[in-house]
Structures are given as structure tokens and as C-alpha cells.
């Protein structure tokens, strides 16, 4: 049985369980195709199974509080135009995400978002057919 789309606001808390992140505030951005996560200290290592990415995540906005070191398998690279209009090649991971009462896997690019208000951005590919965004609302799922 297919679930009908859930209504969410323009900013929502999400969890990335496989990365050990219980909650991170994310901006829902229908103008961005792919989701993005702010990471620091990115280190890639080749293994028989593929490329393992290790990185630090700072889930609390404008703070180093709660910083954790985690990792995931790289599933590819994607050329993404950043907010300044410049294209950059970013590594992509494919991990479970929990938003509202839904959990699903999605692609997330890893980048530095130091100057951005949100450490995570959820793009339209992740929310398509799962959610409706009410831009007048925030924190609908919390």
C-alpha cells in the first residue's frame, strides 16, 4: 500500500542513523536537486569493497558541540553548483535518513557549508513523492 505524501515545513529536524546522527536541523530546498551535508576533515581510503569516506559532522548549528567522527561508503561523485554559482565535484554517499515518520535511503553530497545557516540541505530528489513542502511552516515534524 502506497503512503500519501506527508506535509513538512521549509526547515525540519532529520536523523541519519547509520552516521550516528540522532538529530540535525535541515533546510528543505526544492531548488536543489541533491541533498548536502556539512562535513570537515574528509579522508578517502581505497579498500577492496570501494572507497570509504571518513569525516566529522557538527550537527548543532553554529557550534562545534556534539561533533562526531563517522563514515560511509562513497557511491559516486556529482558535479554540483554551489550557492555562489560555481560548480564543484562532491563525493556522494547513499544512507538512510529519517524525516518525520518516514525512513528511506537517499543520496547526500558531502561538502563544507561553513557559511550556510543549516548544516544540512534536503534536495528535491529526496522528498519527491514522499512529502509536500508548506513554505509557510517550520518544524512540522518535531
DSSP string, 20-85: TEEEEEEEEETT-SSEEEEEEEEEEEEETTEEEEEEEE--STT--TT-EEEEEEEEEEEEEE-TTS
Q: Widest CA span of the chain, in angstroms?
A: 48
Computed over every residue of the chain, the mean pLDDT equals 90
d(CA 87, CA 79): 6
User: pLDDT tens digits, residue range 23-58?
Assistant: 999 999 998 899 999 999 999 999 888 999 999 998
Give me the domains of the chain, ranges plus CATH numbers. Answer: 6-133 (2.40.70.10)
pLDDT grade, residue 62 (50/70/90)?
Answer: low
pLDDT grade, residue 127 (50/70/90)?
Answer: very high
User: pLDDT tens digits, residue range 90-113?
Assistant: 999 999 999 998 999 999 999 987
pTM (2 d.p.)? 0.89
**Where does residue 121 rank: exposed (0-12), middle (13-18), buried (19+ CB within 10 A)?**
buried
Q: What's residue 83's pLDDT?
A: 67
Angle at 115 between CA 88 and CA 123, to 5 degrees: 55
Amino acid at each position: 500500500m502506497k503512503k500519501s505524501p506527508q506535509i513538512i515545513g521549509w526547515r525540519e529536524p532529520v536523523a541519519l542513523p547509520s552516521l550516528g546522527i540522532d538529530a540535525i536541523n535541515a533546510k528543505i530546498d526544492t531548488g536543489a536537486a541533491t541533498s548536502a551535508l556539512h562535513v570537515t576533515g574528509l579522508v578517502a581510503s581505497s579498500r577492496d569493497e570501494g572507497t570509504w569516506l571518513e569525516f566529522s559532522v557538527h550537527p548543532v548549528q553554529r557550534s562545534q558541540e556534539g561533533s562526531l567522527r563517522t563514515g560511509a561508503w562513497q557511491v559516486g561523485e556529482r558535479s554540483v553548483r554551489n550557492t555562489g554559482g560555481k560548480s564543484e565535484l562532491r563525493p556522494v554517499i547513499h544512507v538512510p535518513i529519517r524525516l518525520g515518520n518516514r525512513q528511506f535511503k537517499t543520496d547526500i553530497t558531502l561538502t563544507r557549508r561553513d557559511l550556510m545557516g543549516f548544516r544540512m540541505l534536503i534536495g528535491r530528489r529526496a522528498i519527491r513523492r514522499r512529502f509536500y513542502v508548506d513554505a509557510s511552516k517550520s518544524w512540522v515534524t518535531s
